[in-house]
Amino acid sequence: MKTTPNSNLGDAIEVDITKFLVQHPYSTDVQIRFIYSTNTHGTAISWMTPAQTHDQTMNYLYSQCEDIACRSIAPMMDTPAVKFIYSAKIRAPKEYNVFMSAVKTTVEAYNSTWNESIFISPVKVQSYLIALAVGDLEQKSLGTSEGGVPIGVITEPGMMSKSAEEFKNLAVWFNAVAIYFPSSKYPWPQYDILVLPPSFPMGGMENPMLTFVSPTVIVGDKSQVFVAAHEMAHSWTGNSVTCADWANFWLNEGFTVSSKKVIRID
């Protein structure tokens, strides 16, 4: 194995499996394990102090991997043409709650002060859809869709009341978006929307099962809920059916823009 430095994109990892194939000429599977570490300067992770959060009580971490920033978290291909399932173990102090764009299977004590949360992504995704959020977070159910998909909202305790009220019709909106994709069933087992702290610099991000949205959508009159419709539609156009390369990324967004017309405000 060797690495090829690139000042713009980082080091490319090249693995020569010729020797393995010679020794195992009839093998159809090759397993490669990388042992690696990252640092706090990676472009995909934002580390926020309590002062940068809404409640200003605890530190906060969130990721933003789109488009090729996931390479600063894990050594993997970042073209949208490559999809995979993944699992993760996240260790954090016990007072923190951890969420990912995957199914949380267990939370167990790692030691006297830290917990270990285990996640599994049951559907193949591209690397830019890996998402992580750690902080003083709570989750509230907003019901289920007509297809039985659990719908919820996640945010800091001080933002929960307003966020839950703003998105109380999220299951209804989910049903309305799903009507536009009758031939394709929603592929994930749940749908949650995470309202981030005020320092989150984006409008939204369609991470599977964990849509990220800016707190600027919480305005009290539901006038900005089209952001949720747009990100929900990405579950089908972009996350499920994906452009093959970044040159055609407009396909992900182009078919999703029309979803803003789905929402009707009472």
Q: Exposed (0-12), middle (13-18) or buried (19+): which is 46, by Cβ within 10 Å?
A: middle
Tell me the three state secondary structure of residue 64.
coil
* 2-18+43-261 topology per CATH: Zincin-like (3.30.2010)
Please give the model's pTM, rounded to 2 decimal places.
Answer: 0.89
Task: Say whether pLDDT at 134 is over 90.
Answer: yes
Domain ranges of the chain: 2-18+43-261
Please choose, from the candidates 234, 220, 209, the residue with its C-alpha nearest in 3D space to the C-alpha of residue 123. 209
Predicted pLDDT of residue 164: 97
**Which of 95-109, 164-178, 238-252 has the highest average model confidence (pLDDT)?**
95-109
Q: Is 265 helix (H, G, I), strand (E, B) or coil?
A: coil
**If you search the block for the tokens 């917990």, which residue do you land on?**
115
Q: Specify the pLDDT at position 261.
A: 56
pLDDT digits (tens, 9 = 90+) for 202-257: 889 999 999 999 999 999 998 888 888 889 999 999 999 999 999 999 888 887 87
CB burial of 142-169 (b: ≥16 within 10 Å; e: otherwise) equals: beebeeebebbbbbbeebbeebbebbeb
Strands in 132-135's sheet, in edge-to-edge order, are 45-48, 60-63, 132-135, 97-100
Over its C-alpha atoms, the chain yields an Rg (Å, rounded) of 20
pLDDT surpasses 60 at 157: yes
Q: Give the least confident one: 21-30, 43-52, 225-234.
A: 21-30
Place of tokens 């990912």: 100
Judged against a pLDDT cut of 50, whether residue 79 lies above it is answered with yes
For residues 30 and 116, the model is more confident at 116
Of the chain, the end-to-end C-alpha distance in Å amounts to 60
Note the pLDDT tens digit of each residue in 257-266. Answer: 765 555 554 4
The pLDDT > 90 percentage for the chain reads 61
Whether the Cβ atoms of residue 154 and residue 114 lie closer than 8 Å to each other: no
Return d(Cα 244, Cα 232) in angstroms, integer: 21
